[in-house]
């Protein structure tokens, strides 16, 4: 398998660097939650109940319950017929959708969003494989999509790392094309064709160019799968400097923004806040977890914090 030249400047990431994240993924504690809110867990619990491996609760016997589930000791002690209820443990293949379009080639501190997306994808992939589940992915750029079918093997994860690094290496400031919203939707269509039901689908993107079609495709995927969006962002737009000039580009067109002008800062701030509100509306309407990942911070501690917060919320219920 081809390995690209090592870099460590946060601009590009290599296959070797992505493979090395296996060690950081080992100590992540992935919690299991209710359907549609499970956080990146391998061996996810099914919503079906049966004689599975994970004990859930004791409750009173109801007509139609399997008499084999009766706990006779508790029944004798309480003088009420009680049954033991289990969650059935079920394998859940995982599909990672990794955005490597030109819109991800931006970073004000530490790393480009494209590098952060790559790191987050591999931390998820290694942890899911370590839990015993199959993992694969779709890596998409502005002009294509690469597919790695889910397998329960290190070779599959390394192949995914290699595909990510290939697309990542193509990103450059000299790129003259426009960011393609079409490949985002095409990737979601491919994911629907691969993940028919009971898959874990993790979309890692900044959702640049999303539209009503994107919304419909995500809703369709979520009807029969668990879908999580890791929303990669750079905090620059939320913490604009009060002086200086920057040049921004969407690929073909460029614009110079004079941040010393209050009107310019207000316009950019308004744009960023409205986009945040729109994404929160999406989250409420679709019922999908959208977990923010900053490109200005180390990736693995952020994922760990999100998982710890999820575990705390679970204990509070």
pLDDT at 302: 92
Best-predicted range by mean pLDDT among 2-6, 46-50, 78-82, 135-139? 135-139
Per the domain annotation, does 193 fall within a domain? yes
| End-to-end alpha carbon distance in the chain | 47
DSSP-derived 3-state class of residue 147: strand
pLDDT higher than 60, residue 245: no
Per the domain annotation, does 6 fall within a domain? no
pLDDT higher than 50, residue 192: yes
Verify that 59 and 167 share a domain, yes or no.
Answer: no
Task: Give the span between the Cα atoms of 33 and 54, in whole angstroms.
Answer: 13
Per the domain annotation, does 7 fall within a domain? no
Domain hosting 271: range is 15-40+91-316
Per the domain annotation, does 10 fall within a domain? no
How many domains are there within the chain?
2
191 band by pLDDT with thresholds 50, 70 and 90: very high
Verify that 75 and 126 share a domain, yes or no.
Answer: no
Mean pLDDT along residues 222-237: 87
Verify that 62 and 193 share a domain, yes or no.
Answer: no
pLDDT at 184: 96
Q: 106, 206 in Cβ contact below 8 A?
A: no
pTM for this entry: 0.73
Best-predicted range by mean pLDDT among 126-130, 176-180, 241-245, 265-269? 126-130
Verify that 228 and 294 share a domain, yes or no.
Answer: yes
pLDDT higher than 80, residue 75: yes
Task: Give the span between the Cα atoms of 1 and 94, in whole angstroms.
Answer: 23
Smallest Cα–Cα separation from 114: which of 60, 52, 173?
173
Verify that 109 and 83 share a domain, yes or no.
Answer: no
Range name among 62-71, 83-92, 229-238, 298-307 with the lowest pLDDT average:
83-92
Long-range pairs of 250-253 with CB within 8 A, sequence gap ≥ 24: 250/103, 250/178, 250/179, 251/102, 251/142, 251/175, 251/176, 251/177, 251/178, 251/179, 252/176, 252/177, 252/178
Per the domain annotation, does 4 fall within a domain? no
pLDDT at 31: 43
Verify that 83 and 151 share a domain, yes or no.
Answer: no
* 12-58 pLDDT, tens digit each: 999 999 999 999 887 775 544 444 444 454 444 434 334 344 555 78
Verify that 83 and 97 share a domain, yes or no.
Answer: no
Smallest Cα–Cα separation from 108: which of 297, 299, 271, 311?
297
b (16+ CB within 10 A) / e for 287-317: ebbbbebbbbeebbebbbebbeebbeeeeee
pLDDT at 169: 95
Verify that 181 and 294 share a domain, yes or no.
Answer: yes
pLDDT at 56: 59
Angstrom distances, CA of residue 140 to CA of 131, 148, 284: 26, 12, 26
84 band by pLDDT with thresholds 50, 70 and 90: confident
pLDDT at 160: 98
Per the domain annotation, does 5 fall within a domain? no
**Of 58, 89, 120, which residue is a domain's last?**
89
Angstrom distances, CA of residue 182 to CA of 99, 113, 151, 282: 12, 19, 28, 19
Q: What is the DSSP annotation of 30-87?
A: ----STT---S-SSPEEEEEEEEEEEEEEEE--TT--GGGB-HHHHHHHTS-EEEEEE
* 271-315 pLDDT, tens digit each: 666 666 766 777 677 778 888 899 999 999 998 887 766 554 544
Per the domain annotation, does 29 fall within a domain? yes
Per the domain annotation, does 8 fall within a domain? no
Mean pLDDT along residues 159-172: 96
Verify that 113 and 81 share a domain, yes or no.
Answer: no
Verify that 248 and 146 share a domain, yes or no.
Answer: yes
Verify that 164 and 262 share a domain, yes or no.
Answer: yes
Range name among 103-107, 157-161, 195-199, 307-311 with the lowest pLDDT average:
307-311
pLDDT higher than 60, residue 10: yes
Smallest Cα–Cα separation from 104: which of 175, 5, 202?
175
b (16+ CB within 10 A) / e for 99-119: bbbbbbbbbeeebbbbbbbbb
Mean pLDDT of the chain: 78
CA dihedral sign of residues 118, 120, 125, 127: positive
Verify that 246 and 100 share a domain, yes or no.
Answer: yes
pLDDT at 180: 77
pLDDT higher than 80, residue 6: no
Radius of gyration of the chain (CA): 22
50 Cα distance to chain centroid? 29
pLDDT at 9: 77
pLDDT higher than 80, residue 149: yes
């Amino acid at each position: 398998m081809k390995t690209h030249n090592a870099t460590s400047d946060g601009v590009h990431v290599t296959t070797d660097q992505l493979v090395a994240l296996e060690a950081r993924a080992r100590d992540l504690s992935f919690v299991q939650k209710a359907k549609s809110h499970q956080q990146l867990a391998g061996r996810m619990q099914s919503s079906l109940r049966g004689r599975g491996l994970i004990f859930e609760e004791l409750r009173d016997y109801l007509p139609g319950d399997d008499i084999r589930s009766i706990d006779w000791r508790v029944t004798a002690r309480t003088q009420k017929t009680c049954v033991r209820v289990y969650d059935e443990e079920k394998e859940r293949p995982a599909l990672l959708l990794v955005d490597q379009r030109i819109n991800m080639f931006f970073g004000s501190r530490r790393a480009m969003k494209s590098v952060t997306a790559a790191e987050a994808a591999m931390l998820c992939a290694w942890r899911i494989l370590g839990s015993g589940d199959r993992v694969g992915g779709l890596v998409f750029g502005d002009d294509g999509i690469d597919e790695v079918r889910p397998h329960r093997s290190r070779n599959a994860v390394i192949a995914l790392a290699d595909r990510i690094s290939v697309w990542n290496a193509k990103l450059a400031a000299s790129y003259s094309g426009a960011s393609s919203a079409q490949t985002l939707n095409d990737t979601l269509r491919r994911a629907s064709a691969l993940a028919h039901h009971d898959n874990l689908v993790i979309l890692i993107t900044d959702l640049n160019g999303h539209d009503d079609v994107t919304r419909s495709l995500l809703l369709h995927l979520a009807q029969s799968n668990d879908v999580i969006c890791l929303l990669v962002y750079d905090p620059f737009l939320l913490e604009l400097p009060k002086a200086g000039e920057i040049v921004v580009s969407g690929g073909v067109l460029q614009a110079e923004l004079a941040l010393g002008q209050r009107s310019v800062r207000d316009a950019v701030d308004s744009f960023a806040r409205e986009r945040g509100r729109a994404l929160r509306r999406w989250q409420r309407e679709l019922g999908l977890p959208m977990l923010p990942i900053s490109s200005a911070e180390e990736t693995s501690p952020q994922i760990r914090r999100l998982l710890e917060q999820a575990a705390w919320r679970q204990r509070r219920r």
